[in-house]
């Protein structure tokens, strides 16, 4: 068996994903200022190859990238750019170099995913993908009720049961959802005491009553009786004036813990509002499972702050899960280009978006040169280039014993599944374990111990099944 487990693999993107890599304003910036010496493909010329940072003599050893490019090096002939380029521009060039390095590794066949026929070899196992549910359109979230029953949302607004291998018709009477852009019916989760109380929670984008062009994340709970949605109660909604007209960044993942419901709302395309405590967007929230705001939330005493806020500066949290042993909540944050993150969510903290980020704009224009600042949390892990991170899950099954409590993270554009080995305060390794099977929207451990993936394009649910040797 190859030693695949502990490679630090962030360099791996398939040609079919992330079509922005190496393009846009930052490419023009490179061509204008750096290409004459470092070459069209960054392989070097008058200057060093930029594809192999381990060979660099100064950067990463005696100096940071930004400081080095600003100051130059008169001994070797590397010009100084402190006058001609801003710090954010130099930072965007650093992201571009990371992107181009990955592109070149891919072209050289340095793919990390080992697949022979239908069998993957990764993380110390050989496994295959087994189709479980088909006939879905844009499935977004899966939540198991038992080993033979699960709830599934489809973004266009349908909630379905999957029961004894059969997919139900859409449940009648579920709320109307605003389906523009990335919006729609998003998250579903059964209450931890579902078997007694029957509560099912739905998170979705709801139109403002006053103007259907505006929408925001809303949460309701209800029961399903005879294939009908009943007893609906509103758990969370925001006043009409706080809705947004954009169709992006809804977040909307749930974690239940100790009687509380934690959930995410993305910045809704208004990045600066992620730092604004009067706004609900760009935040992780905490409420009681019946919707009341806990009196010990961190900003209940702060004038005009939105009282359910638990953390802020979160761009678009598309994955949330609690560590099975410590209970610490982990968040995947779909970042700008080059700025996807994994964060540990802690009471009242500021996660920095958009003041600090490891990414730049999708069009290759810089956002900021700052990746760290006092009072702002560093991600536990980040991906430059981005994988377009989405759903996450701590594996709790017993079909892959060596993966117990590893964090699995799905990528949309990258079509990857990453296995992160996590200790209390760090990510020890990041391994791509499968690739190219579709956009990975959600990840969940099934009660049968298999690892389930919700995939878009082709739309289906599959599970990873180990090959018994
Ligand atoms: C006039 C030629 C020239 C231009 C233009 C130029 N460089 Fe360089 N660069 C060099 C030379 C020469 C070196 C040193 C090469 C060596 O040691 O092998 C270098 C080295 C580097 C290194 C490696 C530093 C190390 O620690 O060894 C980086 C990173 C770098 N340049 C980035 C850039 C960036 C980014 C730009 C555009 C903003 C740029 N360079 C533009 C000539 C140039």
| Direct distance between the N- and C-terminal alpha carbons of the chain, in angstroms, rounded to an integer | 11
Q: How far is the CA of 28 from the centre of ligand 1 (A)?
A: 17
Query: How many other C-beta atoms are found inside a 10 Å radius of the C-beta of residue 118?
Result: 9
Q: Does residue 96's CB lie within 6 angstroms of at least one atom of ligand 1?
A: no
Q: Is the CB of residue 316 less than 8 Å from the CB of residue 286?
A: no
Query: Can you give the pLDDT at residue 350?
Result: 98
Query: Can you give the pLDDT at residue 19?
Result: 65
Whose structure tokens read 């994955």? 319
Phi, then psi, of 274 in degrees rounded to 5: -65, -25
Cα-to-chain-centroid distance, residue 459: 19
Nearest CA to ligand 1 atom 34: 34
> Catalytic: 249?
yes
E-assigned strand segments in 245-353: 254-257, 260-265, 283-288, 309-312, 317-322, 329-333, 340-345
Crossing angle of helices 25-33 and 87-107, in 10° steps, is 100
The span from the CA of 36 to the CA of 45, in Å, is 8
E-assigned strand segments in 249-305: 254-257, 260-265, 283-288
The span from the CA of 98 to the CA of 66, in Å, is 14
Cα–Cα distances (Å) from 50 to 69, 115, 241, 330, 462, in that order, read 13, 30, 49, 34, 40
Mutate to test the pocket of ligand 1, among 32, 48, 61 (most ligand atoms within 8 A of CB): 48
Q: How far is the CA of 383 from the centre of ligand 1 (A)?
A: 24
Q: Is the CB of residue 25 less than 8 Å from the CB of residue 360?
A: no
Spans of the chain below 70 pLDDT? 1-19, 111-112
| Three-state secondary structure call for residue 415 | coil
Cα–Cα distances (Å) from 53 to 38, 43, 44, 56, 101, in that order, read 13, 11, 12, 5, 9
E-assigned strand segments in 316-450: 317-322, 329-333, 340-345, 381-383, 389-394, 407-411, 416-422, 427-435, 439-445
Closest-CA residue to 89 (of 391, 373, 368, 333): 368
Residues 6+ apart with CB under 8 A from 144: 150, 444, 446, 447
Q: How far is the CA of 42 from the centre of ligand 1 (A)?
A: 10
Query: Domains of the chain (ranges plus CATH)?
Result: 25-107 (1.10.760.10), 114-466 (2.120.10.30)
Pick the catalytic residue from 38, 249, 285, 334. 249
Give the H/E segment covering residue 391.
strand 389-394
Residues 6+ apart with CB under 8 A from 448: 147, 397, 399
Question: How many CA atoms lie within 13 Å of 413's alpha carbon, on the beta-carbon side?
Answer: 20
**β-bridge partners, 109:** none
Whose structure tokens read 């993107």? 13
Q: How far is the CA of 32 from the centre of ligand 1 (A)?
A: 14
Q: Is the CB of residue 438 less than 8 Å from the CB of residue 457?
A: yes
What percent helix, strand, coil does the chain show, rounded to 5? Answer: 15, 35, 50
Q: Is the CB of residue 154 less than 8 Å from the CB of residue 136?
A: yes
Q: Is the CB of residue 132 less than 8 Å from the CB of residue 42?
A: no
Mutate to test the pocket of ligand 1, among 28, 37, 47, 369 (most ligand atoms within 8 A of CB): 47
Please give the model's pTM, rounded to 2 decimal places.
Answer: 0.94
Q: Does residue 58's CB lie within 6 angstroms of at least one atom of ligand 1?
A: yes
Q: Does residue 80's CB lie within 6 angstroms of at least one atom of ligand 1?
A: no
Query: Can you give the pLDDT at residue 106?
Result: 84
Query: Can you give the pLDDT at residue 306?
Result: 98
Query: Can you give the pLDDT at residue 18?
Result: 56
Q: How far is the CA of 48 from the centre of ligand 1 (A)?
A: 6
Cα-to-chain-centroid distance, residue 413: 11
E-assigned strand segments in 134-282: 139-146, 149-154, 158-163, 166-167, 185-190, 200-207, 215-225, 228-236, 254-257, 260-265
């Amino acid at each position: 068996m190859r030693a695949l487990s502990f490679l630090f693999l962030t360099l791996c993107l398939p040609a079919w994903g992330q079509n922005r890599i190496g393009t846009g304003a930052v490419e023009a910036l490179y061509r204008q200022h750096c290409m004459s010496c470092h070459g069209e493909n960054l392989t070097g010329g008058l200057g060093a190859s930029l594809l192999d940072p381990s060979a660099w003599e100064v950067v990463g050893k005696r100096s940071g990238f930004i400081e080095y490019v600003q100051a130059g090096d008169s001994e070797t002939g590397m010009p100084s750019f402190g006058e001609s380029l801003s710090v954010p521009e130099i930072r965007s060039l650093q992201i571009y170099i990371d992107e181009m390095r990955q592109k070149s590794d891919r072209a050289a066949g340095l793919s990390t995913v080992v697949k022979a026929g239908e069998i993957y070899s990764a993380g110390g196992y050989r496994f295959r993908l087994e189709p479980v549910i088909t006939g879905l359109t844009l499935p977004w979230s899966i939540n198991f009720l038992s080993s033979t029953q699960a709830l599934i949302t489809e973004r266009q607004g349908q909630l379905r049961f999957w029961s004894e291998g059969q997919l139900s018709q859409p449940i009648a009477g579920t709320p109307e959802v605003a389906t523009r852009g990335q919006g729609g019916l998003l998250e579903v989760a059964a209450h931890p005491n579902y078997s007694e109380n029957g509560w099912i929670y739905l998170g979705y984008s709801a139109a403002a009553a006053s103007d259907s062009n505006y929408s925001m994340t809303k949460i309701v709970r209800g029961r399903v009786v005879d294939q009908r949605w009943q007893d609906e109660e509103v758990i969370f909604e925001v006043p009409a004036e706080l809705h947004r007209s954009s169709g992006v960044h809804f977040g909307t993942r749930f974690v239940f813990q100790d009687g509380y419901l934690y959930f995410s709302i993305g910045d809704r395309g208004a990045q600066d509002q992620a730092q604004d405590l009067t706004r609900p967007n760009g935040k992780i929230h905490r409420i009681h499972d019946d919707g009341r705001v806990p009196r010990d939330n961190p900003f209940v005493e702060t004038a005009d702050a939105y009282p359910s806020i638990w953390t802020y500066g979160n761009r678009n949290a598309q994955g949330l899960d609690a560590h099975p042993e410590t209970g610490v909540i982990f968040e995947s944050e779909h970042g700008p280009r080059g700025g996807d993150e994994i964060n540990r969510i802690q009471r009242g903290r500021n996660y920095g978006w958009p003041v600090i980020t490891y990414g730049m704009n999708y069009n290759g224009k810089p956002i900021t040169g700052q990746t760290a600042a006092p009072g702002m949390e560093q991600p536990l892990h980040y991906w430059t280039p981005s994988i377009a991170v989405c759903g996450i899950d701590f594996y709790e099954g017993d079909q892959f014993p060596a993966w117990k409590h590893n964090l699995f993270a799905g990528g949309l554009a990258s079509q990857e599944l990453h296995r992160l080995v996590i200790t209390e305060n760090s990510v020890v390794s990041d391994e791509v374990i499968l690739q190219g099977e579709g956009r990975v929207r959600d990840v969940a451990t099934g009660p049968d111990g298999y690892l389930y993936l919700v995939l878009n394009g082709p739309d289906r649910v599959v599970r990873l099944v180990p090959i018994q040797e």
